[in-house]
A and B are shown apart, each in its own frame.
Chain A
């Protein structure tokens, strides 16, 4: 574990207690049963915002607390444990990062206070197909007069059903640019998708959306900026996965320590002991990569992209393994909808796909490492 300062420790403990008491898995189950289109509960998200979590990384001058990405990663991990459904990652990490990294003063002034306070929900809209691939962007932003006209479709946009702000990647004459598009702009339409994790992953259509020139975030050739934002999204997702894995592991260990067969508790069988020892090892390795990546963001290190791909690739593999073992080691009970294990399996595969699957990140890691 990285050494946390006092404030970070407090933040983590607070998040852990809150998630366990106020947003346990039973809350997610209720949300799932309700089939809420937004994919999260407003009042729960308001509570999170009131605790300042939506503004953890935002500058103080815009209402944030400038605690850094490691701090937010701790919250994402703890809420990941209980599968707390909220736009914290998409909005509080990804959208806030986008504005901090690429925004002009005016743009920050316009959007950051709302994002930091949780009143505004922002999200990044990049992918257009079922797999993460920022090289395959076809949405277009054409210059018209002073501004741009945006057209295209974005697939599986997280929190796309409720977002007030879309940060949309689109082709400009110069390359890939990023555009700040209010959710209520004319020409924006969304359609919900019902997915295994019962969260929001909307299809969003932009049909000739007129944007003023100051909707452009950064340069018209903004691929480098996009990559930086994506790396933060990847690392944040890996932090959520760390929480998911840790909880899946704990559930499994608890179960093996209580379930009896053949007159023994299951945890006494060596075959199972070794399986758990292996999972423990993999999760510890994962923790090292995730924490190092979070720290790399806060230190703005040059190897941040490599660390992001390392963390996400390792997180994907470990989460894949852990979610399978979670079901297998529970036996029949793990296959039932009444038990929570299935929720973890389902969310695991969504997160594995988000912002790049393991092969995407292995490939990227190799390229960045020069081989």
Chain B
């Protein structure tokens, strides 16, 4: 059977042809490897004309958010089609130009909880990658104990008046909009929380960048002083914010486990790096046997993690158990952090440069990502809080009180 005959009989193959044609036309080969995974947290680099064209093309098709409904600007693809799209993109080494918190967290939450008008207004720009969202959850006094948040929103008839402070707002200085948890009642801890969408250009919103140990300033302290938010920007009911906010965190945690990111690592493997820096013995083994053992362990853990991530995905399709997804974030971040530490060890002092002369670019970027990566076990629910969730909610090991 020829390819075209196959396509005639199998609609998925026809779709595959369509994707290939689309990629050939819109994904310029010069873009291979130019994906900036950190762009959503570290701000924009200037986009090349090729990259801009690629983003527009993907946005128009809605293929950056392939399974979201067509009516809101998504791709409207079935899971099987989305898989084909993914396969073909991998084959062409094409990356998804549509991302950020709107895609990872807010969109799915709006699809579930928002009114029809809110969906029509906010989801299409997310699908086109036009609006940057930031997450206004944490406050100086409310981190792991998020529900103790104090930033208040007073009912003023047609609008809420928001006063208070958020912190660690990733991308706050570049964001157009913010989804925030605010306190609409002080009588109840959890039921007093509401979920608001806030235009960052509103009068009274002020951001102050915070510098990280990696030298970058990807997040801010965000201050709200008498900020007027129209009532139409309340998602769900007043007091329903905790339920909505937690659902959003679930999306965040699944994304942050980094399964897809790990799988797509394009850099050299840790073992290859070790061979390059440290050399091999006459049988081709990494010359430092102690390090070699630890690389083996790391590799095996990474494999186990990927297999588990796969198992979670398959279970989700067949309606099997979903509790194992709770371990993904901790394992994923641990594997990433371990990888960064191993790379640093392999590079020795070359992996500890800050800037300037004497270091290769990949060495300097290894250092910065090592430092930045320490955040992954802190944001989106710390490793300890994840373990509390596993112990209490899944294993039923409740507090003894």
A and B from one assembly? yes
Minimum CB–CB distance for A189 against chain B, Å = 14
Chain A residue numbers with a CB within 8 Å of B205 are none
**Interface status of B308 (Cβ within 8 A of chain A):** no
Report whether B211 and A338 are in contact in the complex, using a CB–CB cutoff of 8 Å.
yes
In the bound complex, what is the Cα–Cα distance between A156 and B142 (angstroms)? 43
Contact check: which of B141, B337, B367, B388 meets A196 at CB < 8 Å?
A: B367
Report whether B348 and A336 are in contact in the complex, using a CB–CB cutoff of 8 Å.
no
Report whether B138 and A193 are in contact in the complex, using a CB–CB cutoff of 8 Å.
no
In the bound complex, what is the Cα–Cα distance between A319 and B379 (angstroms)? 24
Knowing A327-B374, A335-B212, A342-B213, the reply to whether A271 touches B387 (Cβ < 8 A) is yes
Minimum CB–CB distance for B295 against chain A, Å = 11
Report whether A359 and B288 are in contact in the complex, using a CB–CB cutoff of 8 Å.
yes
In the bound complex, what is the Cα–Cα distance between A341 and B375 (angstroms)? 13
Report whether A338 and B210 are in contact in the complex, using a CB–CB cutoff of 8 Å.
yes
Knowing A196-B354, A359-B288, A363-B290, the reply to whether A345 touches B348 (Cβ < 8 A) is no
Encode A218-237 as 1/0 by CB contact (under 8 A) with B.
00000000000000000000
**Interface status of B175 (Cβ within 8 A of chain A):** no
The stretch that binds B, out of A239-247, A300-308, A349-357, is A349-357
In the bound complex, what is the Cα–Cα distance between A295 and B98 (angstroms)? 62
Report whether B212 and A336 are in contact in the complex, using a CB–CB cutoff of 8 Å.
yes
Chain A residue numbers with a CB within 8 Å of B141 are 260
In the bound complex, what is the Cα–Cα distance between A167 and B145 (angstroms)? 55
Encode B236-265 as 1/0 by CB contact (under 8 A) with A.
000000000000000000000000000000
Residue of B nearest to A198 (CB): B354
**Interface status of A331 (Cβ within 8 A of chain B):** yes
Encode A337-370 as 1/0 by CB contact (under 8 A) with B.
1100110011001100100011100110000000
Report whether A332 and B213 are in contact in the complex, using a CB–CB cutoff of 8 Å.
no
Minimum CB–CB distance for B137 against chain A, Å = 11
Minimum CB–CB distance for B68 against chain A, Å = 31
**Interface status of A262 (Cβ within 8 A of chain B):** yes
Report whether A328 and B143 are in contact in the complex, using a CB–CB cutoff of 8 Å.
no
Report whether A196 and B212 are in contact in the complex, using a CB–CB cutoff of 8 Å.
no
Knowing A130-B347, A353-B352, the reply to whether A271 touches B384 (Cβ < 8 A) is yes
Minimum CB–CB distance for A344 against chain B, Å = 10
Interface residues of B in 124-176 (CB under 8 A from A): 138, 141-145, 148, 167-168
Report whether A130 and B374 are in contact in the complex, using a CB–CB cutoff of 8 Å.
no
In the bound complex, what is the Cα–Cα distance between A249 and B148 (angstroms)? 28
Report whether B145 and A261 are in contact in the complex, using a CB–CB cutoff of 8 Å.
yes
Chain B residue numbers with a CB within 8 Å of A148 are none
In the bound complex, what is the Cα–Cα distance between A156 and B350 (angstroms)? 9
Interface residues of B in 331-386 (CB under 8 A from A): 337, 341, 344-345, 347-359, 367, 371, 374-375, 377-379, 382-384
Knowing A194-B356, A328-B377, the reply to whether A337 touches B212 (Cβ < 8 A) is yes
Encode B197-238 as 1/0 by CB contact (under 8 A) with A.
000000000000011110100000000000000000000000
Report whether A335 and B374 are in contact in the complex, using a CB–CB cutoff of 8 Å.
yes
Knowing A203-B358, A353-B348, A359-B288, the reply to whether A194 touches B379 (Cβ < 8 A) is no
Residue of A nearest to B141 (CB): A260
Knowing A198-B354, A331-B144, A362-B290, the reply to whether A337 touches B383 (Cβ < 8 A) is no
Residue of B nearest to A271 (CB): B384
Report whether B382 and A194 are in contact in the complex, using a CB–CB cutoff of 8 Å.
no
Report whether B371 and A342 are in contact in the complex, using a CB–CB cutoff of 8 Å.
yes
Report whether A130 and B348 are in contact in the complex, using a CB–CB cutoff of 8 Å.
yes
Contact check: which of A197, A271, A320, A338 meets B388 at CB < 8 Å?
A: A271
Chain A residue numbers with a CB within 8 Å of B211 are 336-338
Report whether B213 and A353 are in contact in the complex, using a CB–CB cutoff of 8 Å.
no
**Interface status of B327 (Cβ within 8 A of chain A):** no
**Interface status of A201 (Cβ within 8 A of chain B):** yes
Residue of B nearest to A328 (CB): B377
Report whether A193 and B356 are in contact in the complex, using a CB–CB cutoff of 8 Å.
yes
Report whether B213 and A156 are in contact in the complex, using a CB–CB cutoff of 8 Å.
no
- 27 A-B residue pairs with Cβ-Cβ distance under 8 Å, sorted by A, are A130-B349, A130-B350, A131-B349, A156-B349, A191-B358, A193-B357, A193-B359, A195-B349, A196-B354, A197-B352, A201-B349, A261-B142, A261-B148, A262-B148, A272-B384, A332-B379, A335-B212, A336-B210, A337-B210, A341-B213, A345-B213, A345-B371, A345-B374, A346-B371, A350-B352, A353-B349, A358-B290
A residues apposed to B, CB below 8 Å: 129-132, 155-156, 191-198, 201, 203, 260-263, 269, 271-272, 320, 324, 327-328, 331-332, 334-338, 341-342, 345-346, 349-350, 353, 357-359, 362-363
Nearest first, the 3 closest Cβ-Cβ pairs linking A and B are A342-B213, A130-B348, A359-B290
- Known A156-B349, A335-B213, A337-B210; 7 more pairs at CB < 8 Å: A130-B347, A131-B348, A196-B367, A263-B145, A272-B384, A331-B378, A350-B352
